[in-house]
Amino acid sequence: MLPQNNPLAENRIVVLTTGSGLANMLVNKLAAHFGPLTVIQEAGEDASTIFRRRKKMLGWWNAMGQHLFTYYGLRIVGRLSRRRMHAIWAAHGLESDLKPGNAVHKVPSVNSPECRALLTALNPKVVAVYGTRIIKKDTLHAIEAPFINYHAGMNPKYRGQSGAYWALRNGDQAHAGLTIHLVDEGVDTGSVIFSERSEFDRSDTFPTYHFVQMAQAAPLMIRAIEDALGGRLKTIKPNLPSSQYFMPTLWGYAWAGLTKGVW
């Protein structure tokens, strides 16, 4: 276990992520424990690229519903949930602005040659992952370090996007939780390190679920990284079925809120 504020952490731990507020919260928590980190931030995809991919996978109707939810419904719910959101941040010391002191590198994608070159040059002992595109084999095999991801759902039952929301929507509170797992080439299919149920307040909504879970996940990510650095990393095999979920459509989200009280 590295002492807090150890400058060597920058060369031992690399974080692959985006520049989102949630991602910054995780980086801040990790850096507060391990000291300065190297952060590789990938650029976000534009809305048209995301829409085309969703259309190909799920059809035009679902893709349009997801687009409307992401760019309109979610923003409205976020504004209505602002008080609860700030209460969670204050209670758990979550900060959406990245604190200074970390070495930040920007790349087009985690699967780009630039990212692989950085990883090879840095040669970290462990790579922490949150919120990126699916990482392809060329990046995963660029170095020998384990890639450890935080997923806001219980794998393998709630792989994909916003697993805790879908568990609540399905009336499956026992599996509304999160997973820390190794990354492989699939969608949240890597071996599970930690899996925990999350406890939500009745006032929580789609955006605040993620903040509640981030506060819960950060200590687990720290434990997993410490175990990886110390050669103690172990995995478990949850006895659960495997399903993948996607962003809800605007009308599906409204229906679940009105009929089930799951917002």
pLDDT for 10 equals: 57
Residue 3 in domain? no
Structure tokens at 59: 């059809």
Residue 4 in domain? no
Residue 2 in domain? no
Sort 57 into a burial class: Cβ within 10 Å, 0-12 / 13-18 / 19+: exposed
pLDDT for 186 equals: 94
Residue 43 in domain? yes
pLDDT for 122 equals: 95
Confidence (pTM): 0.93
Residue 207 in domain? yes
CATH of residue 100: 3.40.50.170
- Under a CB-based contact definition with an 8 Å cutoff, are residues 147 and 34 in contact? no
pLDDT for 11 equals: 59
pLDDT for 2 equals: 39
Structure tokens at 125: 């002992």
pLDDT for 9 equals: 56
Residue 70 in domain? yes
Low-confidence ranges of the chain (pLDDT < 70): 1-11
- Under a CB-based contact definition with an 8 Å cutoff, are residues 66 and 54 in contact? yes
Residue 213 in domain? yes
pLDDT for 6 equals: 47
pLDDT for 8 equals: 44
- Under a CB-based contact definition with an 8 Å cutoff, are residues 180 and 194 in contact? yes
Tell me how many domains the chain contains.
1
Q: Give me the domain span that covers residue 229.
A: 9-260
Rounded CA gap, 191 and 179, in Å?
10
pLDDT for 92 equals: 98
C-alpha R_g of the chain: 18
